Structure 1
Amino acid sequence: MMVPAVLLVLGVLTALVAPRLLARADWTDREPVVALWVWQCVVAAVLLCFGLSMVLSAAAAWQAVRGRVFAVAPHGVVDAYALGAGGPWAAGTALLLALGGLWTGAMLAVEVLRARARRRARRAELLVRAPLLPGEEAGAGRLVVLEAPRPEAWWLPGAAPQLVVTTTALNRLKGRQLDAVLAHEQGHAAARHDWLLHCGQALAGGFPQVPVFAAFRAEIHRLVELAADDVASRRYGRLTIALALVELNEDKGVFGPCPTPQAHVPQRVNRLLSAAPRLTALHRLRLTAAAALVPVVPLLVAFVPGLTALG
């Protein structure tokens, strides 16, 4: 019963320590795509720890589960895990973790259903405000222009993604700024950032007291914007997308002294204008490889006793 306990402790420590370590990292703003990968690996490691601990605890508590989990394993492998020493704690741990897994799945399903409902409502609103012309068909990549007093542009994901731009935004965006905004929004769509946001919202909403999930939701909201900014800046330049952000947000009070929900916009503009150099390709490769090894740790903890017994 030692392995499920070790996995449980490892998952808790990762959930507590990883957000603090990543908060101290000074490279995340320079490499948002790598930072997103690191966060995904950390969250996957935490979920793996809890999931593997649940399976092994259930195997320790119930013979039927043990028979299925170790159906093709030699007897020596089963003995290496000492599952018979779990006692009443094994069943309680397995049930608690199983409830957590079901709750996670339910929260993700709720988040996806809510997102689809919001998209349907916004698409219906778009058809009312910008109806299709005779012979025109709604298709992927369709640009929708809305008459509105505020400069706004957003990407509506889905089976037929659409870019929505207001007439005020079209009047304000000059030169290649509109192209930069289009590239920014297309960067979101190409990387499927909406799914990352759904996962972050589901985990943080289901387990608001778990630091790694709350930090994951907060960070991905920021990092996906930085990543999309980089997509646009590589095609049209940092100054172009920075000026476009200013034109779209200067009337919303985001550059004033009072905090607003869009307080991240001035930080994005400053980041684009400061033009901090990217990490070297070798450094990015090392960070990517190191992050990929994080979910491997719980797998090693779970399988090493069995592999040792076979050896």
Structure 2
Amino acid sequence: MEFNMNTNTELSLRPPLIDFHGISMIRHFTDNWENIQNFQARPDDILIATYPKAGTTWVSYILDLLYFGQTDPDRQTSLPIYERVPFLETNFHVFRSGTELAEKLTTTPRLIKTHLPVQLVPKSFWEKDCKVVYVSRNSKDNAVSYFHFDRMNKAHPEPGDWNNFLQRFMDGKMVFGSWYDHVTGWWEKKQTNSNIYYMFYEDMIEDLGRELDRLCSFLGLSPSVEEKERVSVGTQFDNMKNNSMVNYSAIPVMDFKVSPFMRKKNEQFDEDYKKKMKNTTLQFRTVV
């Protein structure tokens, strides 16, 4: 991916939050909306969906290795993850949009990622009965990770201090909206759609081998013991952190001097959580 450094100043200007169909967003994810909604999925596409900072890159890399780690090993060292697994709604103007990158994919299946809440996903993914892998992470760890991400990601609004950020998180005034609505919206959709596989970040931390087996079962894959070991080792935290093809260090908008991309008011938060999650069967654990 080539960056136009002359227009790179656009990426350094932190954008304001906007209201978009009732969801807090930024223009980098809405400017290409017609092409996003008209995106034509294929039946064998796999959509990787998460709320931001819930394990998107981890699962993207796992799937890429499962499908192409042996058949096309060169792609692991020659193509950054954001070209192998395009971020559908991105449109930063200084490089190709997510829809363009996805349309140009020559792989089968095409692996595509999104942070969109379930109601905004392009209809063709449902019409083509595509498989969807959704990854969720408990709210507290998700909020902390999102805070550090926003500190270093100049393409997102200024996070402010932790207390203000946490209040915005509780209020859903985040890019891609409310964590509560996102995780429960996808959970409810899963109840009536067998093509959605709902994963938990905490389960992956606890036993990645077990979760790999479950994921492969959902996808109809039967990797050998050696292949699964290769995937497990390749996607370990330290290996990903030091891999320039998956740690996003090549993107100028990421300021790694502030916070690396990969990184490991309590009573008020707990009360808010109980209130907003009381009517769902979805349950999280904070401590593994």
Same fold (TM over 0.5): no
Q: Which has the higher helix share?
A: 1
- Alignment TM-score, normalising by the size of structure 2: 0.25
Q: Which has the higher strand share?
A: 2
- Alignment TM-score, normalising by the size of structure 1: 0.24
Bigger Cα Rg? 1
